[in-house]
Structure 1
Amino acid sequence: SVCSKPPEVLFATINVVKTVYDVGEEIEYTCRPGFVPNNGQRKYTCQPTGKWPLNTLLCLPVTCPPPPLSEFGVLSYRHVKPGNISYYMDTIIFECVPPLALIGNETATCQANGTWSSIPECRAVTCPAPSGIENGFLNFAVRRTYHYNETVSFSCQSRYVLEGPKHSRCEKTGNWSTKPTCKEPCKMPVKKAVVLYEGEKKRVQSDLKEGILHGETVSFFCKNKEKSCAYTVPVQCVDGNLTLPACFKGMSQANFKTDPSDMKPCEDHE
């Protein structure tokens, strides 16, 4: 005669998995990794009645003791889940008392063997006095060493444009994070011309004596001789470099009677 299917035990596997078991056949339960058996029986024999004995086995999750914190109270942790008991696969998050830096993993996981995956350490980290940047300066920074996570900020000299993060941070490595750079303004590469700047016609020789700033755009007027009309070509200032468009001829009476900026705009210039 045959036996019914053996009872399932949560978080356990059976050594011989079959659809039909014979009377007298023995099976053994094993708890999965991360789970430990209670004092219940692990081996069971199929009875002549075709039934299995009452199953007393429970597979309980492994627990991890609180992590050892020997560092004079400078390292603390908090549970991700509520409750104070840590079970298999539970996670905790470590923190250091400022200004100490956390070296190692910020999180630890309760492992199948009942220990924590890793415990970080808290270390005093300092960065050297920060240096300035080209064509710019540090804002109100004192010449001293700085602690981990302290920041300084930068500004640029007049008409220079700051690119990148305004603040630099003292990092775990003892180095400063990326500093910004100061991008140069552009002088106008032509002595006389009418150009489009911020949507308005401007005279280079009077309105744009100072040039334009990094990232700004100015449009030059170019002539389409066949159609006797003018079109504009935008050029951007990139860190002090501004390139005249090839079609631009400048204000020379010899070239043409009318400056392109006074001609009618081309409707469909490609």
Structure 2
Amino acid sequence: MCIRYLGLVLLIWIPAALHAQSATQPCSAPRLDDGFFSPKQETYSHGTKLTYTCNDGLKPTVKGWWVTSTCLNGEWSHKPQCIDEKACIPPDIPNAQYKKNLRGWYENNQRLRVRCDEGYEHKGNDATAICTNGTWSSVPVCEKSIEACGEPPKIPHAVIIHQEYQELFAADSEVQYECEDGYTVEGGTKEYITCMSGNWTEGPTCRVRPGPVNGGSAGGGTGGSTGSGTQRTVEVKNCGQQPVVPHGDVVGNNPMFLRYQCAALYQRVGPERVICYSNGMWSEVPICKATFCSVDTDTHPELISDGVKIIKHGETEKLKCVHQDHWRTPHYSVVRCTNGIMSRSRCCDRWDAFWNC
């Protein structure tokens, strides 16, 4: 009995001892050209630190004229190495990424292309750093984009799903909410929100889900409700032909919703996403409203014929008029477009304009 017990102890102890040994491998003395280190040993146990420096005209591959390196399981935490003092060590650029050099350093005059993280943009459109005599010049700065959004709003009785927490989201980022048990999204059409121009679109509202009525279903009847408020959503292929939105197109390829985008010079009014309910009905469909104005100069006898003029929202244009005074001064009509509604002044010259023509 004692022999069996001893054997069992050895079987447990030996693998554990071997694992402990393999996890703490010693390091060989590093080869350091053009420099020296201390302490001088043939081998270094796991966790031992050494200090090294470099000869004149050279420097370590990390910041400082003397640095330490640690033995970690048979490898040095960074390989002791001396490089030309005009070379550059990797720069520290917050909120940015760049291609790492396998040597761990960069030659003098070498250029480094920097890419900002999502939600950030280059300040002054400067995206290149240059190694100049051992330091980086014109190091790009990645600042928060004016189009980016902060963390999504907290909504009562809801949580964001399929998304790890982050403080900054790039433009056009989407997050999806899910109501807690016993609650449902009001209207069933706003589970997603989108980051647009630095702000989140309107989020969902989670309402208490109606309970059974007279022993029926949650919708109030034995067959369930046909209203969208209590219908579950299904894949869009279950609703047949996609709704047609004049001057709009379906973009993306999501099996759970249609995302509509309006053509240039048109603005979407209504939900961006259209979903399919389990009763085969589509949710509310948006419309694409014109944000431009058009003037057919051929239908206005007071204007010089120049075809159809398109004026974008918020812009003005001067159209030439037929009338001229006895000094042959040109006259113009000023047209302004606001949300698709056009306003046009009478024909007047620049002097009339001075008097609020």
Taking structure 2 as the reference length, the TM-score comes to 0.26
> Relative contact order (C-alpha < 8 Å, sep 6+): which is higher?
1
Higher Cα Rg, which structure: 1
Taking structure 1 as the reference length, the TM-score comes to 0.32
